[in-house]
Amino acid sequence: MSGRRVGDDILQIDNLRIEARNDRGPGPVLVDNVSFALKRGKVIGLIGESGAGKSTIGLATLGYTRRGCHITGGKLDFEGRDIRTMTAAERRALRGPGVAYIAQSAAASFNPAMTLFEQICEIPLRHGIMSLAEASTEAVKLFRELDLPNPETFGNRYPHQVSGGQLQRAMAAMAMAARPDILVFDEPTTALDVTTQVEVLASFRKLIREHQTAAIYITHDLAVVAQIADDIMVLRHGKTVEYGTAQQILQAPREEYTRRLVAERVAGHTFREDLATDEPPLLEVSNVVASYHSLLRVIDNVSIDVRRGDTVAVVGESGSGKSTLARVIIGLLPRQEGDIRFNGTSLPPKLASRSKEQLRRIQMIYQMPDVALNPNQTLLEIIGRPVQFYFSRPRGQVRARVLELLRMMDLPEHFIDRRPGELSGGQKQRVGIARALAAEPDLIICDEVTSALDQLVGEEILRLLKRLQDELGIAYLFITHDLGTVKRIANKVAVMLKGKLVARGETAQVFSPPFHPYTELLLSSVPEMRSEWLDDVLARRTQTLQAVKQAQIQLAS
Amino acid sequence: MRLFGHRLTFTATLGLVIIAINLIIAIGAPLLAPYGQASILGDAWADPTPQHLLGLDDLGRDLLSRLMYGARMSIGLAVVTTCLAFALGITAGFAAAVLRGWVDTLLSRLVDLLLSMPTLMFAFIVLSVLGTNLSVIVVTIAILDAPKVFRLSRALAMNIAALEYVEVAKVRGEGLWWLMRREILPNALAPLVAEFGMRFSFTLLIIAALSFLGLGVQPPNADWGSMVRDYRDMINLDAMAPLYPAAAIAILTIGVNFVVDWMLAIHSHAHGDSA
């Protein structure tokens, strides 16, 4: 610990180059000529979309590359020693006390058969830095600093006994246990709910500040990094796009790409106001109750109306029942009580009892385009099947229709014989939309359609959906946790909390005061670009949380 | 060399060569074999001569020709039996995974029942009651083998049926056959093909064992298992005769397993690296 001074260069990366190699020869360059310096007590944010090479850089600071990747150029200077030339033993000594890593999915990083204590104390013990007694005192101290409940006994639990946000913080404790000089955060809050993200982010910031640890914070979300980083580096396809102080990047971006990333958040949207209000609703969900194995009510007394041309957003955190609601409407999970009427007629609860015509008119687009498309079918088969199945068209007409749909999706026509594996994430999602449209539906249920996509790609998908709505008059039911998106695309919104509807109405009205306390909590948790945002939210947090708790008690009674 | 876009290992190449030779002999036996499998050509246990490369057997038949016809019978039977076992096992396994509920319970318990019975014993009883007709052998062994295929295909289909593209097809209103045939089968093919190779080896051995015990292929048809039985006494007289069919069984089994190992290795690779 001696000689540690804030402001010293601790890590210096010069012209780092990392290449992938497979058994057929050299592959793509993952990181190309990236340089930055990290000072003690400072945080650098690495920003970029998937494939930008940010995680690869993060892992390289641990002297590690994924299988098939090799560091082929540059220097990784850690306190005067080059990580590249270290022996395996020296690298092992580096990991833990020198550089520590916090992964995106804490659930996959903990051993489910060991208590948290055992796993957190393992690192200092193995490195011989502390005795067991010292390590456990240190762990309790870290739990307290990270605002974990019952810090004295928290470590006795197993990973499955704590929540996702707590586990992510426990992972930070594990990384801090050997008092590293550098912490590498790799998308640590991406898998969390917005409200949890705020708390975890606050804990991380506190931890970094109190210990004066240097950190590399990797994320795709500029607003998150704005809260925590001193410097920001924007990466794209392994190259540095822009590197500067957080303030400069956020407020005066020099490069076009950075400007687009910053601008995405502020873009506004106008709704159609000309919707006929006297028309009967297309979809009428009234007082629906549903549960799995008739145990807990996952959907409790929910009512929603969707008119032709509407975009209705259903928002809530994980476990709020919003995806289950989609399954109930589509018939995969039969409802127990209440009614769902489509175009004036009641839909049978079970999928098997619905007519082909009823099935055709409600289509769905999924969150993960990777698993929503059969990897062994060509786009002709994927998109053509609904055309053939619902309209019994001859082969030639099916092909013509698929080509037409591909054009509508701005996909090249020669893609028709490709398989999903040959497409990018955004292109796959377009195929998913084309498949839904092939059935010529009245209503499309969009289940988190943009959350698995990169920011700019997701934005294009939303624009495409909007254009299709204008052209074809389709109604959307948007299931999402991203309130930023909701504000921009939905004209109506329903907020769900633990299976119950807490607020419903026109977006403008639900999202403006007087709010329901839970809506306010959700809205306040959406990260904003300004760096004071986190402090502002935390200042009002306790009050908002109390209001939510009261509202929940009211709902239950 | 590459096959299906993957580099062939040395053992896999060797296995493929062994399989290819066996298949050529099995299919072309009537054309390739120098003599008929039942024709008596000279004295019993005549020594090898240029006309009879491996010599003659206990009844004076050409050993090489019988070995080649034996390949036809043994491999043919094993292929037909394994195909039938897979047709039954995959259909039932996929149906159980897609339909769940009572169909799954019923099929799974039935399979447990079949698995609880010792294969060879069960085959003995059935064959001694129904007679040693070829079709009885095929159906009996296929039914005894199908539960193992059922287990695998059900487990595979369970994972695939949980994916959204299967859900999409279900919501579209597709029938059970489409789901099984178009959505699940193509995505379960790799492990199933590997399993086919392994099951084929086992079936080959079981049929050989039954023939050895006199319950399998009946004379005068040649088959590797019954050939070992017919010639087994000669081992005491220092003759090679029983070793040829035994070696044929062993070599083919090893060859198939080389290929299966290679396929399984590719399969597990693909899984580990995709993340």
Q: Could you read off the pLDDT of B223-249 as tens digits, one per residue?
A: 888 888 888 888 887 778 888 888 999
Pairing type for strands A231-236 and A239-245 reads antiparallel
d(CA B74, CA B206): 10
Nearest-by-Cβ selection for B165 from A23, A331, A371 = A371
**Which residue, among A142, A117, A143, has the nearest Cα to A132 in the 3D structure?**
A117
B residues 183..202 contacting A (CB < 8 A): 183, 186-187
Q: How many beta-carbon pairs below 8 A join chains A and B? A: 45
d(CA A495, CA A477): 13
Residue A293: φ, ψ to 5° = 50, 35
pLDDT by residue (tens digit) across B37-93?
888 888 877 778 888 888 888 788 888 899 899 899 999 999 999 999 999 999 999
Interface touch B165/A374, C-beta < 8 Å: yes
- State both tokens at A77: 């200077």
Are A76 and A252 spatial neighbours (Cβ–Cβ below 8 Å)? no
In chain A, residues with a C-beta closer than 8 Å to the C-beta of B174 are 389
d(CA A56, CA A285): 47
Instruction: Provide the pLDDT for residue B274.
Output: 33
d(CA A284, CA A339): 8
Instruction: Provide the pLDDT for residue B275.
Output: 27
Give the Cβ contact number of residue A10 at 10 Å: 22
Name the one residue in this structure whose structure tokens are 């013509």: A400
pLDDT 10s per residue in chain A (557 long)? 444 566 678 899 999 999 887 666 677 888 988 999 998 889 999 998 887 888 899 999 988 888 878 888 888 888 888 888 888 888 888 888 889 999 888 888 899 999 998 999 988 888 888 888 888 898 999 998 888 888 888 989 999 888 888 898 899 899 888 889 899 999 888 878 888 888 888 888 888 888 888 999 999 888 888 889 999 999 998 899 999 998 898 888 899 888 888 876 544 455 555 555 667 889 999 999 998 876 778 888 899 999 988 899 999 888 888 889 999 999 999 999 999 999 989 999 999 899 999 999 999 999 888 889 999 899 999 999 999 999 999 999 999 999 999 999 999 999 999 999 888 888 999 999 999 999 999 999 999 888 888 888 888 899 899 899 988 989 999 998 888 788 888 889 999 988 889 989 888 888 888 888 888 888 888 888 887 888 888 888 888 888 888 888 877 76
**Which residue, among A524, A488, A493, has the nearest Cα to A509 in the 3D structure?**
A493
Model confidence, pTM:
0.83
DSSP letters of B229-247?
A: HHHGGGGGGT-STTHHHHH
Instruction: Provide the pLDDT for residue B190.
Output: 84
**Which residue, among A178, A232, A176, has the nearest Cα to A207 in the 3D structure?**
A176
CA distance A129 to chain B (A): 34
Give the best residue of A22, A371, A390, A446 to mutate against chain B (max B CB count within 10 A): A371
- State both tokens at A218: 């990797």
What pairs with residue A314 in β-bridges?
A479, A494
Residue B210 identity: L
> Is residue A475 within a helix (H) or strand (E), and if so which, with residue range?
strand A475-480
Query: Does the structure show a pLDDT above 80 at B2?
Result: no
d(CA A410, CA A416): 13
Indicate if the alpha-carbon torsion angle A448, A449, A452, A455 is positive or negative: negative
Nearest-by-Cβ selection for B164 from A372, A385, A439 = A372
Tell me, rounded to whole angstroms, the distance of Cα A332 from its chain centroid.
25
Is the minimum CB–CB distance between B171 and chain A shorter than 8 Å? yes
Instruction: Provide the pLDDT for residue A274.
Output: 52
Name the one residue in this structure whose structure tokens are 């319970």: B105
Are B57 and B66 spatial neighbours (Cβ–Cβ below 8 Å)? yes
In chain B, residues with a C-beta closer than 8 Å to the C-beta of A386 are 172
- State both tokens at A434: 């084309």
In angstroms, the first-to-last Cα distance of chain B is: 27
Residue A508: φ, ψ to 5° = -60, -35
Instruction: Provide the pLDDT for residue A481.
Output: 85
Tally of residues, chain B:
275
Are B150 and B111 spatial neighbours (Cβ–Cβ below 8 Å)? yes
Are A177 and A136 spatial neighbours (Cβ–Cβ below 8 Å)? no
In chain A, residues with a C-beta closer than 8 Å to the C-beta of B176 are none
Is the minimum CB–CB distance between B177 and chain A shorter than 8 Å? no
Give the Cβ contact number of residue A30 at 10 Å: 23
Instruction: Provide the pLDDT for residue B87.
Output: 96
In the sheet with A43-47, reading across from the earlier edge strand, the strands are: A99-102, A182-186, A214-219, A43-47, A231-236, A239-245
Is the minimum CB–CB distance between B164 and chain A shorter than 8 Å? yes
d(CA B215, CA B228): 14
DSSP letters of B134-148?
A: HHHHHHHHHHHHHHH
pLDDT by residue (tens digit) across B120-179?
888 888 888 988 888 999 999 999 999 999 999 999 999 999 999 999 999 999 999 999
d(CA A283, CA B158): 33
- State both tokens at B81: 């039996």
d(CA A183, CA A61): 10
d(CA B60, CA A335): 78
What pairs with residue A76 in β-bridges?
A13
Tell me, rounded to whole angstroms, the distance of Cα A496 from its chain centroid.
19
Q: Which has more confidence, A511 or B109?
A: B109
Contacts of A137 (CB under 8 A, 6+ apart): none
Nearest-by-Cβ selection for B187 from A67, A368, A375 = A375
Instruction: Provide the pLDDT for residue A24.
Output: 64
In chain A, residues with a C-beta closer than 8 Å to the C-beta of B9 are none
What pairs with residue A39 in β-bridges?
A9
Nearest-by-Cβ selection for B172 from A67, A332, A359 = A359
Are B200 and B259 spatial neighbours (Cβ–Cβ below 8 Å)? no
Residue A236 identity: R
Is the minimum CB–CB distance between B232 and chain A shorter than 8 Å? no
d(CA A108, CA A96): 19
In chain B, residues with a C-beta closer than 8 Å to the C-beta of A445 are none
**Which residue, among A303, A378, A360, A298, has the nearest Cα to A334 in the 3D structure?**
A298
Contacts of A374 (CB under 8 A, 6+ apart): A381, A382, A420, B165, B182, B183, B186, B187
Dihedral of the alpha carbons of A263, A431, A28, A13, in degrees to the nearest 10 = 30
Is the minimum CB–CB distance between B175 and chain A shorter than 8 Å? no
In chain A, residues with a C-beta closer than 8 Å to the C-beta of B273 are 67-68
d(CA A28, CA A35): 19
What pairs with residue A447 in β-bridges?
A479
CA distance A115 to chain B (A): 26
Interface touch B163/A376, C-beta < 8 Å: no
Interface touch A374/B173, C-beta < 8 Å: no
Interface touch A364/B168, C-beta < 8 Å: yes
d(CA B254, CA B260): 10
Give the Cβ contact number of residue A399 at 10 Å: 16
CA distance B16 to chain A (A): 22
**Which residue, among B164, B155, B181, B56, has the nearest Cα to A445 in the 3D structure?**
B164
What pairs with residue A285 in β-bridges?
A304, A340
Interface touch A439/B172, C-beta < 8 Å: yes
DSSP letters of A169-201?
A: HHHHHHHHTT--SEEEEESTTTTS-HHHHHHHH
In chain A, residues with a C-beta closer than 8 Å to the C-beta of B274 are none
Interface touch B183/A366, C-beta < 8 Å: no
Is the minimum CB–CB distance between B173 and chain A shorter than 8 Å? yes
DSSP letters of A80-134?
A: TEEGGG--HHHHHHHBTTTEEEE-S-HHHHS-TTS-HHHHHHHHHHHTTSS-HHH
Give the best residue of B163, B168, B183 to mutate against chain A (max A CB count within 10 A): B168
**Which residue, among B80, B71, B77, has the nearest Cα to B22 in the 3D structure?**
B71
Are B78 and B142 spatial neighbours (Cβ–Cβ below 8 Å)? no
Indicate if the alpha-carbon torsion angle A477, A479, A485, A491 is positive or negative: positive
Asked if the interface predicted TM-score (ipTM) of this complex is over 0.85, the answer is no
**Max Cα separation, chain A?**
79
Radius of gyration of chain A (CA): 26
Burial class (CB in 10 A: 0-12, 13-18, 19+), A470: exposed
What pairs with residue A340 in β-bridges?
A285
CA distance A179 to chain B (A): 30
CA distance B172 to chain A (A): 6
Residue A467 identity: R
d(CA A176, CA A169): 10
DSSP letters of A326-363?
A: HHHHHTSS--SEEEEEETTEEPPSSGGGS-HHHHHHEE
Nearest-by-Cβ selection for B164 from A331, A371, A386 = A371
Instruction: Provide the pLDDT for residue B272.
Output: 35
Tally of residues, chain A:
557
- State both tokens at A525: 């948790």
- State both tokens at A158: 């197993």
